[in-house]
Amino acid sequence: MSITVVLLQMIKLFLIMCVGYFLYKIKLLDDHTRVHLTKILLYVTTPALIIHSFIENAGTDKRDMLGGLFIIAAAMYIILPFIGLLITFILRIKKPLRGLYTFMTVFSNVGFMGFPVADALYGTEGVFYAAVFNCVFNICVFTVGVVMINYPKEENGGAASLNLKKLLNPGILCCFVAVIIFLLEIPVPGVIMEVFESVGGLTSPLAMMLVGASLAMMNIKEMLGDVKIYVYTIIRQLALPLLSWPVIRYFVHDEKVAAITLILVAMPVANTAVLFATEYKRDERMAAKAIFLTTLAAIVTIPAVIWICLR
């Protein structure tokens, strides 16, 4: 993979993110609009993008890969919690924050940033692979993610409560529909495919503008005051993907699948971290700092990781 292509794509995504940042600062994109655009992204454009990517990649070779992709994604979410806990011990994170740090290590920004990067680098094939990971992400974040964010239990007044109803979210439902169409090879009229392609094509610019708007909401001075979060950012955004690569390459033999797995590991902390920290009464400011710094760092670290591992 040409590092020039990667850099140009990351610069493009960064500039779109800057557009979102600027629009929020001049009040052209306010909180009300941002909330509704997020819903459009989650309920309309991302499902269209996922369904289009599955239909575009329908075929015997990809169908045979589907089970393996789910296994790889599941394995990633089984291994990462242990790495997250290890990082908390290396950084000597206080006990009440260990669950939050582990959550932030495990759950990367697969949707808002993963899809745009996968689409930019590999087109619909990359989105297809990322969509499978996103499906496993959605299942894990509302099950083991809830347990993680509540660790240690005694600090939060009891056992974690799982809300299985939240598993019926647009991400999982559209993946289910896409998999059914994909496996049964249900024919889709050309005009419908074009609609899915056009609407799904809005996902990347819309997602990056919303990431920029989210960053614009944060107090930069407050974000830059914690030294430990800088160390965490370096470990998470650079050391983790680089150390993961030999393991990924050993077990994943398909080059593109291995590359997408690496790229998704290298994604910044998911916006979900703030939502969960708020809901389960954890340190939402710390989660916001991690999202802010890892997202900015990703503009440099993702091309660096790709250049080192995939050239």
pTM for the whole thing?
A: 0.83
Checking if the pLDDT of 2 tops 70, the result is no
Q: Which domain holds residue 303?
A: 3-310
Quote the CA–CA distance of 198 and 189 in Å, as a whole number. Answer: 14
CATH code where residue 153 lies: 1.20.1530.20
Provide the angle, in degrees to the nearest 10, between the axes of the packed helices 255-265 and 60-90.
Answer: 30
Please give the pLDDT value at position 156: 47
Please give the pLDDT value at position 194: 92
pLDDT tens string 288-298 = 888 888 988 98
State the total domains in the chain: 1
Measured over the CA atoms of residue 240, residue 219, residue 15 and residue 211, the dihedral's sign is positive
Tokens describing residue 15: 């500039």
Region 109-116 average pLDDT: 83
Alpha helices in 107-187 (DSSP H): 115-141, 144-149, 170-184
Please give the pLDDT value at position 240: 95
pLDDT tens string 200-214 = 888 888 888 888 888
pLDDT tens string 5-26 = 777 877 888 898 899 999 999 9
Please give the pLDDT value at position 165: 65
Contact 124, 56 (CB under 8 A): yes
Quote the CA–CA distance of 4 and 172 in Å, as a whole number. Answer: 35
